[in-house]
Amino acid sequence: SLIRQIRAAGGAAEAFCADISHSQAVRDMVAAVENRFGPIDCLVNNAGIAQQKLFTDITLEDWERMISVNLSGVFYCCQAVLPGMIRRHTGSIINLSSIWGITGASCEAHYSAVKAGIIGLTKALAKEVGPSGIRVNCVAPGVIETEMNAMISAEDRAALADETPLMRLGTPEEVAECIYFLAEEKSSFLTGQVLSPNGGFVI
């Protein structure tokens, strides 16, 4: 597992689980992390769900679940870590959106809506907490070879690759490099930005 790899390389790692659609569960998780490792310097809001449905087929439960996990979850996690970051006058928050939050996607209206919301939240929060020395940025990946996209047929994946100027889909490692860049000091003058590793699919 990833945790074993980190430990084998001499690092310290541990998994803490929570249903991020519940604010108290998030607060409890953050408290447990801080108890174990101390202050949180960097937050990556990467948890999310996806669903493909015609707009007229989206149920109220589909809509509310999409918002509670993909948007409210980001809100809860940011709220839980920000007091400590503000006190220490330092911190980096990286929110994961999607190219569909920029362009919209047919049959993914609710997913596109929450991913656009994450971009708006990122920009607003960056302005608000910048004076406290905290950076807030967003990564909006294109089509990436992940478990979430495994539901897309091989034919559709090939078509998406053909529409991409670099003629392929992205890898999780390429997205991780963007996240790492935004977390470290090399990006110390970047805040409120949307970095989109998408192979030229959206320019």
Per residue in 60-86, pLDDT (tens digit) is 999 999 999 999 999 999 999 999 999
CA pair distance 62, 52, nearest whole angstrom: 10
- Which residues belong to the active site? 111
Is 146:110 a contact under the CB 8 Å cutoff? no
In degrees rounded to 5, what are phi and psi of residue 170?
-85, 170
pLDDT, tens digit, 9 for 90 and up, residues 141-180: 999 998 777 777 888 889 999 999 999 999 999 999 999 9
Q: Which residues pair with 94 in a beta bridge?
A: 44, 137
**In the beta sheet, which residues pair with residue 91?**
134
The answer to whether the pTM exceeds 0.75 is yes
Q: What percent of the chain has pLDDT over 70?
A: 100
